Amino acid sequence: MDWNPAKFDVPEAPDKDRFHDFALPETLMHAIHDLEYQYCTPIQSAVLPMSLADYDVTGRAQTGTGKTAAFLITMLTHMWEKPLERPLPPGTPRALVLAPTRELALQIESDANALGRHMDINAQCVVGGIDFQKQRERLQRQPVDILIATPGRLLDFINRRDIHLRRVEVLVIDEADRMLDMGFIPDVRRIVYQTPHKRERQTLFFSATFNDDVMRLASSWTIDPEHVVIAPESVATDAVDQKFWLVSADRKAQILTEFLQNAPPERALIFTNRRDQTHHLFRLLSRKGIKCEPLAGDVPQRKRLSTMNKFKEGELAYLVATDVAGRGIHVDDISHVINYDLPEDAEDYVHRIGRTGRAGKTGTSISFVSEDDAFNLPAIEEYLGESVVCTQPEF
């Protein structure tokens, strides 16, 4: 059935930008309509006017602010406006997205295919933990327009001459601070040097923080970029009811179990700080008859993908995850985030609670504060710019 743009009627609203306001391709607007997007998020409103005009952009924004859609809309519009005369050879992308974790990379691939569903666009992902040969065969089967990759696996393909980056027109470096923390920057630098010179490509550079190290990277890989800042507290906490429960370390498991049994959330993401704690908590909850699954770096990739799909589709209500695994979780109807362990990094706290209260909805975060991790609380208060009140568990 032919799509009629007249069906996509979004009224003008004060202080809000519509996707209609950016003269996007009709095929892209069709996908935006399918996804039920109406108004731009703050990061989209700030980035799109510059990125659609081919400027380099550096953006400070948390996960969950809509930046993925901002750079994908930019790429897809660029390709529609500048079609190729003939297909490029296999393994030669027009756009490249570098992400620190396979979960985030796979999520970006899913979003790219959703936004490009009515365009003749092929987005593919290459990440570790998935069969190398299968990824290689997929790359050779048809030209790839948008390539999403983690640095290590991408270098494997580059070294084998299966991927060539000489025709990249748009480069996105996502969560640069996390890649710096994970030691990926030497690999990223090698990859960037494989792409055209920064004057011959557009570069979009995103990071949750911009310290001196991140600023140096941004300045070396971009040309006179427009800098966009979305304050974490304005996007990550306004829609989230934050609770801090005082719980002794030896009663955390009992309190969590009783909460899930007596006041069960509709859908909850439970964060721990370590892989072993993730598996321990999963086994404990399972023994109590609470259906959940673990998501950690040592879980086989096929199992992780299956677990993520069940969580997204609503077949699984509770997920126990580490921070690295949790980075790729983009589900709009997570009702609760539970910090079983307070994160050691205050930024991770905002990343975690940003998993709920998304897409115009409200959410609840519950953080257990015990004698083992209470010393992390002052840094969180400083990062939020406000003091928090600890209470006894309520349910």
3-state secondary structure the chain: CCCCHHHCCCCCCCCCCEHHHHCCCHHHHHHHHHCCCCECCHHHHHHHHHHCCCCCEEEECCCCCCHHHHHHHHHHHHHHHCCCCCCCCCCCCCEEEECCCHHHHHHHHHHHHHHCCCCCCCEEEECCCCCHHHHHHHHHHCCCCEEEECHHHHHHHHHCCCCCCCCCCEEEECCHHHHHHCCCHHHHHHHHCCCCCHHHCEEEEEECCCCHHHHHHHHHHCCCCEEEECCHHHHHCCCEEEEEEECCHHHHHHHHHHHHHHCCCCCEEEECCCHHHHHHHHHHHHHCCCCEEEECCCCCHHHHHHHHHHHHHCCCCEEEECHHHHCCCCCCCCCEEEECCCCCCHHHHHHHHCCCCCCCCCEEEEEEECCCCHHHHHHHHHHHCCCCCEECCCC
Q: What is the pLDDT of residues 76-106, one digit of tens each?
A: 999 999 999 888 999 999 999 999 988 889 8
Please state, in angstroms and rounded to a whole number, the distance separating the CA atoms of residues 274 and 341.
9
Q: Tell me, yes or no, whether 55 and 156 share the same domain.
A: yes
**Span of 1-15, 245-259, 302-316, 340-354 with lowest mean pLDDT:** 1-15
User: Into how many domains does the chain fold?
Assistant: 2
pLDDT for residue 235 = 43
Q: Print the domain residue range for 257.
A: 234-391
Q: Tell me, yes or no, whether 336 and 263 share the same domain.
A: yes
Q: Residue 174: name the closest of 72, 324, 68, 47 by CA.
A: 68
Could you tell me the CA-to-CA distances from 18 to 36, 74, 358 in Å, in that order?
Answer: 12, 15, 18
Q: Tell me, yes or no, whether 245 and 166 share the same domain.
A: no
pLDDT for residue 303 = 82
pLDDT for residue 234 = 47
pTM: 0.70
pLDDT for residue 2 = 75
Read off the pLDDT of each residue in 348-369 and give the average, rounded to a whole number: 82
Q: Tell me, yes or no, whether 225 and 78 share the same domain.
A: yes
pLDDT at position 237 over 80: no
pLDDT for residue 13 = 84
pLDDT at position 152 over 80: yes
pLDDT at position 195 over 90: yes
Q: Tell me, yes or no, whether 275 and 359 share the same domain.
A: yes
Among the candidates 230, 260, 283, a domain finishes at 230
pLDDT range class, residue 323, cuts 50, 70, 90: confident
| Angle between helical axes of 102-115 and 67-81 (0-180°, round to 10) | 50
Q: Tell me, yes or no, whether 262 and 374 share the same domain.
A: yes
| Candidate ranges 61-70, 174-183, 196-205, 368-377; pick with highest mean pLDDT | 196-205
Q: Residue 372: name the closest of 247, 279, 243 by CA.
A: 247
Q: Tell me, yes or no, whether 92 and 35 share the same domain.
A: yes
Q: Tell me, yes or no, whether 213 and 67 share the same domain.
A: yes
pLDDT for residue 199 = 95
Q: What is the pLDDT of residues 243-292, one digit of tens each?
A: 999 999 999 999 999 999 999 999 999 999 988 999 999 999 999 999 99
Among the candidates 212, 230, 248, a domain finishes at 230
pLDDT at position 107 over 80: yes
Q: Are 162 and 135 in contact (CB under 8 A)?
A: no
pLDDT for residue 233 = 47
Share above pLDDT 70 across residues of the chain, in percent, rounded to a whole number: 94
pLDDT range class, residue 344, cuts 50, 70, 90: confident
Among the candidates 230, 262, 288, a domain finishes at 230
For residue 208, the one-letter residue type is A
Q: Tell me, yes or no, whether 300 and 353 share the same domain.
A: yes
CATH number, residue 128: 3.40.50.300
Q: Tell me, yes or no, whether 262 and 208 share the same domain.
A: no
- The rounded mean pLDDT for the chain is 88
Q: Tell me, yes or no, whether 202 and 287 share the same domain.
A: no
Q: Tell me, yes or no, whether 148 and 43 share the same domain.
A: yes
pLDDT at position 108 over 60: yes
pLDDT for residue 138 = 92
